[in-house]
Structure 1
């Protein structure tokens, strides 16, 4: 006695649907004798009569109806298994992360996404925001992780705040604020030991945040006095490199920028001797949160980017 196969089940289900062996043969592009053979095979296998034949076609018997219910269920389960198993070879990358405006972070994120195989289903949200908004996003808005930035001198305040909010923290990097400017401009040739050496420059500032403060905050009238008269406010971060490249005496306060990005835009970064500010970039997430594999891989890639910069 031969064993039942899935093809025979497909045949009898289509025959039942068509009500005719000849019609089913046309739908399946199969010779009628093959369908008749499948019916006889299954009827012998299970010791039942699946169809009643008449001049009008075929109709399932009572026991045949029960058999067809099982057959349809088996076909459905097999198809479902095929779909599920086809996805087993694919990784799903789905996470939300909120970060400060930092070129090394955005560069590392872009590289990480670019490293994924074409089989990976990607759904990611990458939002640049202030430290307070990052904390809110992790607590209330479904972000699995965040990176916050603050001045080293504000460490006690932020540690207390994170403990109060029930967030864990991992130090990613302790970095100096630096001046980023065109390699062809006058500022690139100066030692920048005093603030006065920047007075004839044009400072580029993000219009919604005040820099350099370590922790990004909203602009205020008091904050304006910290900056020279020549300012360009931008609201799209992508435009900052074009301005730095084309406006030779322009500059920005930034955390260290990856070398390949500086080369692409013909920029240099310089230490400012009058500024001893150090910032900390800290990874945050809810207490007890278990990072997914791709999240751990992204953080490791980010740390590698930091090591290369330093």
Structure 2
């Protein structure tokens, strides 16, 4: 019997709905339904009665839930007594290079101060292959993966194979990032061919799936761009955009304060070929800690600012 699964059952009772509990726990609904079914089978009784109107706790289920609540309380008390005052605050996440994610991370860390018992945090900005690898191996508890629409089926199969769960954090169309003084800055509508005489600032990365690289290269080819600069560090990229005439990047929506700091603007691109989503991934059955849930809340606030 898994203590995390017992917590799941209590959350279902609290929410009065498996679907609402799944959202609260950042779990897929089918997985949560499976966990509840397996627990009921193990106990040889029905905890919940399902209907179109939701769920109802059975009489025997009520007794079981009371006992489960006592068990979870005892475990939490032990954890508080023997771990809470000794262990440092621990958090690990692997992410793409995205300004809105780093902004959420900065706020998350700042809000948690002071860390009386120490701090053990790992924030990996890396490529999609490493994000999946770090989460699968347990070196990071959470990962955020940028997936273009044409890549979704590939990653769905990969998550199934790697025993990972995923949840959409944000969906967006990539935008043009450029200086306020860029020759295209005054245009409200920019076509992909308008970029022909611009210099592309590319994020230097490797370990992308071959079909992803091929697709993105085809898009760059459509622009007619013949000049590009690869830069890995985000600060270097932004400084190039600010100081080098007629440069651009294709990015996710950017925080306003960062745009103002580097005198940059974003403009929509008249194409549907660069729609993407950022997915939260974690190992199947993993229970998010209170700190991890707080990070996701900060992340959702950043997303709401540009949606």
Question: Do the structures match in fold with TM over 0.5?
Answer: yes
1:198 pairs, out of 195, 198, 204, with 195
Q: C-alpha separation between the residues in 2 aligned to 1:220 and 1:270?
A: 19
Match of residue 94 from structure 1: 90
- CA 1:191–1:275 in structure 2 vs 1: closer, same or farther (change >3 Å)? farther
TM-score if structure 1 supplies the norm length? 0.65
Match of 2:278 in 1: 281
**How far apart are the structure 2 equivalents of 1:229 and 1:195?**
14
Task: Look up the match of 2:102.
Answer: 106
Aligned equivalent of 1:174, options 155, 171, 176 = 171
The answer for the alignment partner of 2:204 in structure 1 is 207
Q: Which residue of 2 aligns with 1:272?
A: 269
| Structure 1, gaps ≥5 residues long | 1-83
Q: 1:308 to 1:152 in 2, by over 3 A?
A: same
Query: Structure 1 residues 259 and 131, CA, compared in 2 at 3 Å: closer, same or farther?
Result: same
Contact 2:127/2:207 (<8 A) preserved: no
Q: Please state if 1:185 is matched with 2:182.
A: yes
Q: Give 1:274 deviation, angstroms.
A: 2.9
CA contact (8 A) 2:146 2:276 kept: yes
Following TM superposition, where does structure 1 have runs of at least 4 consecutive aligned residues deviating by more than 3 angstroms? 87-92, 215-227
Measure how far apart 1:194 and its partner are.
Answer: 2.1
- Aligned residue number for residue 254 of structure 2: 257
**Greater relative contact order (Cα < 8 A, sep 6+):** 2
User: 1:178·1:271 contact (CA, 8 Å) conserved in 2?
Assistant: yes
For residues 14-53 of structure 1, what are the structure 2 equivalents within 5 Å? none
Asked whether the 8 Å contact 2:94–2:126 carries over to 1, the reply is: yes
Deviation, 1:89, is 6.5
Q: Aligned partners of 1:200 and 1:124: how far apart in 2?
A: 43
Q: Within 2, Cα distance between the matches of 1:232 and 1:203?
A: 6
Mark the CA change 1:307 to 1:224 in structure 2 (over 3 Å): closer, same or farther: closer
The alignment status of 1:230 with 2:208, answered yes or no, reads: no
CA–CA distance in 1 between the matches of 2:155 and 2:147?
A: 8
Pairwise CA distance, 1:220: 10
User: Judging changes above 3 Å, is the alpha-carbon distance between structure 1 residues 223 and 186 closer, same or farther for their aligned structure 2 residues?
Assistant: closer
Q: Secondary structure at the match of 1:289?
A: coil
Per the alignment, do residues 290 and 218 of structure 1 end up closer, same or farther by CA in structure 2, a change over 3 Å counting? farther
TM-score, structure 2 as length reference = 0.65
Change (3 A) 1:134 1:226: farther
Q: Deviations over 1:57-94 (max 9, x none)?
A: xxxxxxxxxxxxxxxxxxxxxxxxxxx98x95688321
The equivalent residue for 2:129 is 132
Check 1:191–1:90 CA distance in 2 against 1; reply closer, same or farther (3 A cut): farther
Matched position secondary structure for 1:188? coil
Number of residue pairs aligned between Structure 1 and Structure 2: 225
Correspondence for 2:158: 161
Map residues 2-21 of structure 1 onto 2, 5 A cutoff: none
Deviates more, 1:201-210 or 1:96-105: 201-210
Cα distance, 1:163 vs. partner? 1.4
The 1:209/1:203 distance shift into structure 2, 3 A limit, reads farther
What 5-or-longer segments of structure 2 have no aligned partner?
A: 1-79
